[in-house]
Copies of this chain bind each other. A is one copy, B any other.
Amino acid sequence: MVSVAVLGATGMVGREMLDILLERSFPFDNLKLLASERSVGKKISCRGRDFLVEKATPESFEGVDIVLASAGAKISQELAPHAVKAGAVVIDNTSAFRMDPDVPLVVSEVNPEALKSHRGIIANPNCSTAQLVLVLHPLRELGRIERVTVATYQSVSGAGKDAVDELMEQSAAYLRGEKTPPYHLSKPIAFNLIPQIDLFLENGYTKEEMKMTNETKKILGDQSLRLSATAVRVPVPVGHSEAVQIEFDREVGVEEVKKILARAHGVKLMDDPATLTFPQPSDVAGKDEVLVGRIRADVSHPHGLALWVVGDNLRKGAALNAVQIAEVLLEKGWLKIKEQQ
């Protein structure tokens, strides 16, 4: 039995972490829910149990074995070193440490072995990366993946609870014939699309897009892989979708691809044009598996494959993967690092 702390417990991902810990009967004997000052004393109810929120401070981590962090990159940067010093392993869902060469970036089904060499901090990838690599990884059995192009259709819950409220309130206003200005997202999202997620970089891509490029390379351990993404916010509450084209170093057969994805861990094949079966965001909320469909040989490339991936961005894209990482650490006995150092 271990002692667990959830940092950022009142956010959407934090609540999902709590729910998944309970759902999967994670073996904790102590659970701390940590958040900022303004949430202190709040009660969070989950699966018939009530939990009290405590203030997150540098001293919060005494006696804690595992910290699941999802309170923003700044807070992780500030508090993770204190947690590690206190002997905890931090599984961080923010972008703070993902590209740090000393920090493993892990999707539990793809590169769990990377966990072995952690130094106290482990990074969880961005939501849209996690669901993509779950599909890319098993397909490497068929050939080397040379290039991937992705267009995303990302739900507003990726931007937090406020953004979900904004979508719903704005939609209601729109239907009443009123216009409401955006306050959390950069532009109105109701009945609209925003082709911008996170800040713009020098090369014209957004940070969100380059996260997918860089994180995919790191998780798959292949710096020669080329990936270009266009990240778009869509008026959907939960569930990120991706139109993906993959170029292999050889021809791959669609039937073989389907066979591999049908047995891949964490993936569910949903692909039957005859019965109009294909993944939609409305299928995915609360599901652990990433759904894949619309699989076809790319008519524009002799070694190309096109497909469509939908995942619950709060679960496999965030909270579930973090808990799965904790499970691997426990199972393999890779939790404590102090003895290794």
Contact surface of A with B, Cβ cutoff 8 Å: 147-149, 151, 153, 167-168, 171-172, 175, 186-188, 191-196, 200, 203-205, 210, 213, 226-228, 230, 232, 234-237, 241, 243, 245, 254, 273-274, 276, 278-282, 293-301, 304, 306, 308
A280 to B54, CA, bound (A): 42
Contact B235 A204 (CB under 8 A): no
Chain B residue with minimal CB distance to A283? Answer: B192
Contact A228 B298 (CB under 8 A): yes
Q: How many copies does the complex hold?
A: 2
Contact A281 B192 (CB under 8 A): yes
Question: How far in angstroms is the closest Cβ of chain B from A220?
Answer: 14
A301 to B254, CA, bound (A): 25
CB neighbours (8 Å) of A232 from chain B are: 153, 241, 243
A193 to B254, CA, bound (A): 24
A190 to B194, CA, bound (A): 17
Neighbour of A147 across the interface among B200, B228, B236, B300, CB < 8 A: B300
Q: Which 5 A/B pairs are nearest by Cβ-Cβ distance?
A: A204-B296, A151-B151, A200-B273, A226-B300, A151-B243
Contact B203 A228 (CB under 8 A): no
Neighbour of A279 across the interface among B172, B191, B195, B301, CB < 8 A: B195
Chain B residue with minimal CB distance to A192? Answer: B282
CB neighbours (8 Å) of A297 from chain B are: 203-204
Contact A230 B204 (CB under 8 A): no
Contact A282 B188 (CB under 8 A): yes
CB neighbours (8 Å) of A168 from chain B are: 175
A196 to B278, CA, bound (A): 8
Contact B278 A230 (CB under 8 A): no
CB neighbours (8 Å) of A308 from chain B are: 195, 230
Neighbour of A236 across the interface among B192, B230, B293, CB < 8 A: B192
A213 to B230, CA, bound (A): 21
CB neighbours (8 Å) of A151 from chain B are: 151, 230, 243
A299 to B196, CA, bound (A): 17
A191 to B191, CA, bound (A): 9
Chain B residue with minimal CB distance to A307? Answer: B230
A153 to B232, CA, bound (A): 10
Chain B residue with minimal CB distance to A172? Answer: B175
Neighbour of A241 across the interface among B193, B243, B278, B281, CB < 8 A: B193
A293 to B205, CA, bound (A): 12
A192 to B171, CA, bound (A): 13
Neighbour of A195 across the interface among B274, B294, B304, CB < 8 A: B294
CB neighbours (8 Å) of A235 from chain B are: 191, 234-236
Q: Known contacts being A192-B281, A234-B234, A235-B191, is A205 close to B299, with CB within 8 Å?
A: yes
CB neighbours (8 Å) of A274 from chain B are: 200
Residue pairs across A and B with Cβ atoms less than 8 A apart, 22 shown, are: A151-B230, A153-B232, A168-B175, A187-B276, A192-B236, A192-B281, A192-B282, A193-B241, A195-B241, A195-B280, A196-B276, A200-B273, A203-B299, A204-B273, A204-B295, A204-B296, A210-B299, A226-B299, A226-B300, A232-B241, A232-B243, A235-B235
Neighbour of A205 across the interface among B147, B228, B236, B296, CB < 8 A: B296
